[in-house]
Structure 1
Amino acid sequence: MIIERIVTNIEQLNTKEIEKRHVEKVLLESAHLVKRIQRVKTDHGRELGIRLQEPRDLVAGDVLYMDEKNMIVIDVLLDDLLVISPRNMQEMGMIAHQLGNRHLPAQFEADDMLIQYDYLIEQLLEEVDIPFKREKRKVKKAFRHIGHSHE
């Protein structure tokens, strides 16, 4: 089966719609969410080809296939993250500046900044006394690097 478009996202469906279907999952590393063309396997062993026509990243919960009885949904494996919780704007600005200088992508959930684990950033956070914790967590979107050069 070749998937060329996303049907919907599971968050857009009501519980009744989900419960009446058998759900298969495609487990991806967050880095693979940016791939528009890839071969994957569901947790039930079914092989699929993904060749998205529209230029978009996959997101956790995307429904690749759905009929009256079945549904195939994207799920994401746990990432090794640093969850940074600055106490004020000064700390947020300082760590954002440091991460920006290193071109490290970040995501935000509530008041937390999420980055993929990096031992140098962990050391920096300890040195400047900004609260953080290392955590295995699922992210909905890929950490996307933004191209930039210093000229």
Structure 2
Amino acid sequence: MIRATQVRPQPRWTETPVDTVVLDFDDRHRRRMAMTGTRGLEFLLDLENAVALRGGDALVLDDGRLIEVVAAPEPLVEIRGSDPHHLIRVAWHLGNRHLPTQIMAKGLRIRRDHVIEAMVKGLGARVIEIEAPFDPEGGAYAGGGHGHAPEGHPHDHHAAHDHASHDHGGHHHDDDHHPHDEHGDHGHQHGHTHAHDHK
């Protein structure tokens, strides 16, 4: 089976792709996985490290042909605040739980999660259920703003939101000042169900 061993971020490619793969957020965070394009081309994604793929990226096959990556729509909620300061406060709470979050011009998008949605509503924000591609921020640990490390040095996407991949030395939760009472029994687990199956 032909392999795709490199990723070319948009807009660093202009060639016509030979096929397209439509992937949700989970499947855009893989290192090695058999894939089939929408036109039937079968290939093996076989990267040196897991890379956070984004819609518009291209996978480079062994023979130089390109497969375009399209971000699939999935169930999300869009969070709206009463003003920018309110939205920043909500974003802080989401970040404190290490939730993958997409920052929009007028709101925040996360995957549907009734516990988190209840928390957000408790903070006075409005929650709107939508279907849309999910393209969250890569995080401070993810390298470049696009979610990719510099060319030739792909990063492991776990660094953005996997507790095991970094300590909290410069990322204090400051438990003395906010004891996380609202965590209940769900801790930091939301949004991580996909993070351990593709090493």
Q: With structure 2 as the length reference, what TM-score do the two structures score?
A: 0.58
Paired position in structure 2 for 1:2: 3
* Alignment of structure 1 residues 78-93 onto 2, 5 Å: 78-93=73-88
CA contact 1:105–1:146 (8 Å) conserved in 2 = no
1-side partners of 2:26 and 2:73: how far apart?
Answer: 11
SS, match of residue 115 in structure 2: helix
CA contact 2:77–2:129 (8 Å) conserved in 1 = yes
CA contact 1:60–1:141 (8 Å) conserved in 2 = no
Paired position in structure 1 for 2:36: 41
Report 1 or 2 for greater relative contact order, CA contacts < 8 Å, sequence distance ≥ 6: 1
Paired position in structure 2 for 1:63: 58
Deviations 1:106-143 (A, max 9, x none): 12122321111111222233333313311111134588
Distance 1:46 1:141, change over 3 A: farther
Distance 1:141 1:33, change over 3 A: farther
> Which runs of no fewer than 5 residues in structure 2 stay unpaired?
139-159, 176-199
1-side partners of 2:136 and 2:95: how far apart?
Answer: 19
| Cα RMSD, aligned residues only | 3.0
Residue type at the aligned position of 1:87: S
Is 1:145 matched up with 2:161? yes
2-side partners of 1:133 and 1:65: how far apart?
Answer: 37
Q: With structure 1 as the length reference, what TM-score do the two structures score?
A: 0.74
Alignment: residue pair count = 142
| Superposed displacement of residue 55, structure 1 | 5.3
CA contact 2:24–2:134 (8 Å) conserved in 1 = no
SS, match of residue 117 in structure 2: helix
CA contact 1:65–1:73 (8 Å) conserved in 2 = no
* Structure with the largest fraction of helix: 1
> Which runs of no fewer than 5 residues in structure 1 stay unpaired?
none
Is 1:114 matched up with 2:115? no
Distance 1:114 1:129, change over 3 A: same
Distance 1:141 1:48, change over 3 A: farther
1-side partners of 2:47 and 2:102: how far apart?
Answer: 24
